[in-house]
């Protein structure tokens, strides 16, 4: 049994990834801002190996809450930085606060969470940062996603850089750049758009990759998409 931290676990991809990990017999520390939605995860999983943390990972208190649970468990085998925020707004209309908010969730929160969880990661651990095809070099870009795609692109480069630093500790770092998945977040940003992949399918893929992917790759930015567009 492995112990995995999943952020943004209250809905969508994070919710389904957590379920898949629990169903395969692992312990999951599921973090999200919504306590009620985390209760839904508890009801769906009915697993004694699920630990939930109500936390806003863009705040110091939120990071400390996850760190406290990790310290109670001990070793962490995998950290999945899944929490994200999409903003569909033209560049000229996007405010400074909106840029900061998008970067806080998509880039700085994973950076700061890794920093507080690092003492609990051991040789053979795996950090999986969930990026986007919007932040993958050479992929199609779309109007309105400048802030989001830029933050995810920075997350990809950070993943590559961190893997070089953590390689001496035997800790792998990879970034999965996801294409469109039919989540609530996607519906809110792009009403009417139908993605080719559902959250359950993607959650199962991420679950398997988090447990096994680092056996074959490290420091990689990997496109996970059925086509070039996001």
Active-site position among 112, 148, 193, 205: 148
C-alpha 35/C-alpha 24 separation (Å) is: 24
Q: What is the DSSP string of 82-143?
A: ---------GGG--HHHHHHHHIIIIIHHHHHHHHHGGGEEEEEEEEEEEEGGGSTTS---T
C-alpha 193/C-alpha 180 separation (Å) is: 10
Catalytic status, residue 148: yes
Q: At what angle do helices 109-117 and 146-166 cross, to 10 degrees?
A: 20
C-alpha 135/C-alpha 148 separation (Å) is: 8
DSSP element (H, E) containing 165: helix 146-166
What separation, in Å, do the N-terminal and C-terminal C-alpha atoms of the chain show? 34
Residues annotated catalytic, as ranges: 148
């Amino acid at each position: 049994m492995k112990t995995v931290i999943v952020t943004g676990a209250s809905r969508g991809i994070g919710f389904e990834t957590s379920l898949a990990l629990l169903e395969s017999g692992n312990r999951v520390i599921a973090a999200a801002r919504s306590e009620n939605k985390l209760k839904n995860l508890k009801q769906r999983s009915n697993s004694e190996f699920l630990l939930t943390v109500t936390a806003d990972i863009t705040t110091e208190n939120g990071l400390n809450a996850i760190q406290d649970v990790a310290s109670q468990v001990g070793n962490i085998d995998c950290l999945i930085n899944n929490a994200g925020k999409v903003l569909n707004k033209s560049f000229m209309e996007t405010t400074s606060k909106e840029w900061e908010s998008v970067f806080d969730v998509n880039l700085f929160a994973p950076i700061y969470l890794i920093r507080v969880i690092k003492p609990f990661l051991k040789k053979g651990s795996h950090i999986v940062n969930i990026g986007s095809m919007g932040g993958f070099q050479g992929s199609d870009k779309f109007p309105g996603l400048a802030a989001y795609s830029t933050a995810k692109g920075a997350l990809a480069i950070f993943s590559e850089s961190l893997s070089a630093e953590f390689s001496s500790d035997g800790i792998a770092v990879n970034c999965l750049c996801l294409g469109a998945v039919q989540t609530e977040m996607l519906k809110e940003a792009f009403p009417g758009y139908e993605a080719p992949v559902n959250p359950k399918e993607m959650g199962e893929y991420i679950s398997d990759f988090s447990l096994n992917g680092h056996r074959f790759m490290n420091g990689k930015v990997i496109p996970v998409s059925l086509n070039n567009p996001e």
